Amino acid sequence: MFGREDEDVLMIHDTYLVDEPLDLTTGRLTAPFDCSLDDDLCVLIGREAAIEFTAEVVDLALDGASIEEIEAFNDEFLMRAVDEFEPDDDGISLRASGSWETDTSGNVRLRARNGVTTPVIGSRQAWTEAKTQRRNTFGWSNKAATEICVDTGTNIQTVTICGWSSPCNTTTLESFNPSESCVTNQKSHKSRTYHARNNGDGNWSSYTIRARGSASAEINGTNLSEFVSEYSKIF
């Protein structure tokens, strides 16, 4: 149980996870680690990283971290872990992105990129990620911006359906959630748009998700912006 006593698990449940059944919380923290109890976490980052992630969250909880502090850790850890994980999934890319594009002014810069996430289950995503950096003696390092804004745009998913005896038909689905958001005093930020999981009826041939986004930032009075090239993925 990640080296914890029953009362530790009860405290974590009652403080942070009161909305889920106690036996589910206990199951998450009981060896051997069961990927099936954590939705698609193992699919997105791999079993070993999922175990590391859970252990780190348990330590934070037992140290009395606030929900906000744990959520901030979750965002940072998962962003890095998803980037580093290379799944073996018969050629279906769970997460893919275009190259970083940069706006530089003096010794500060804004970097942004577009990408697509297609988990095995759940809504598909198009996303735009931004980072702010400052140049020092050792090169570029991440620096908190006064404000970072990311706009993932109204992204689209195009589904092409081909029947056995009828011509192909293409349907365009727009993302169904707001795309723009801003944060203050952060080094990075990401905005996601979600698409209904729709492969069409019958014999569909392909679907394409297009990610279109932009980012802006203000770093101690310096304003930066970057319109990122469209990134698309065909499945």
- Model pLDDT for residues 4-16, shown as the tens digit of each residue: 568 888 888 888 8
| Predicted pLDDT of residue 146 | 95
Which domains, and CATH codes, for the chain?
6-84 (no CATH), 95-234 (2.60.40)
Q: With 90 as the cut, is the pLDDT of residue 111 above it?
A: yes
If you average pLDDT over residues 134-141, what whole number do you get? 78
What is residue 190's three-state secondary structure?
A: strand
Q: According to the model, what pLDDT value does residue 215 have? A: 94
177 confidence band (pLDDT: 50, 70, 90): low
pLDDT mean over 45-49: 80
% of residues, the chain, pLDDT over 70: 80
**pLDDT at residue 109, as a whole number:** 95
Which phi and psi (to 5°) does residue 22 adopt? -60, -35
DSSP 166: S
Distance (Å, whole) CA 35 – CA 51: 9
pLDDT at 216 over 80: yes
Section 55-63 average pLDDT: 86
Q: Quick one: what percent of the chain has pLDDT higher than 90?
A: 19
pLDDT confidence of residue 102: 96
* Per-residue confidence band for 213, with pLDDT thresholds at 50, 70 and 90: confident
For residues 139 and 131, what is the distance between their CA atoms, to the nearest angstrom?
15
Average model confidence (pLDDT) for the chain?
Answer: 80
The predicted-structure confidence for 75-110, as pLDDT tens digits, reads as follows 778 777 766 665 544 334 557 788 899 999 999 999
Measured distance CA(5)–CA(23) in Å, rounded = 15
Is the backbone peptide bond immediately before 21 cis, with ω within 30 degrees of 0?
A: no
β-bridge mates for residue 117, sequence order: 95, 125
Between residues 42 and 15, the one the model is more confident about: 15
Q: What is the pLDDT of residue 145?
A: 94
pLDDT for the residue numbered 7 = 85
What is 99-150 written as a DSSP string?
A: --EEEEETTEEEEEEEEEE--SSS-EEEEEEEEEEEEETTEEEE--EEEEEE
Asked whether residue 46 carries a pLDDT value surpassing 70, the answer given is yes
Q: What CA–CA distances, in Å, run from 71 to 68, 75, 111, 143? A: 5, 6, 23, 20
Q: Are the beta carbons of 38 and 28 closer than 8 angstroms? A: yes
pLDDT tens column, 147-170 = 999 988 767 777 777 766 667 777
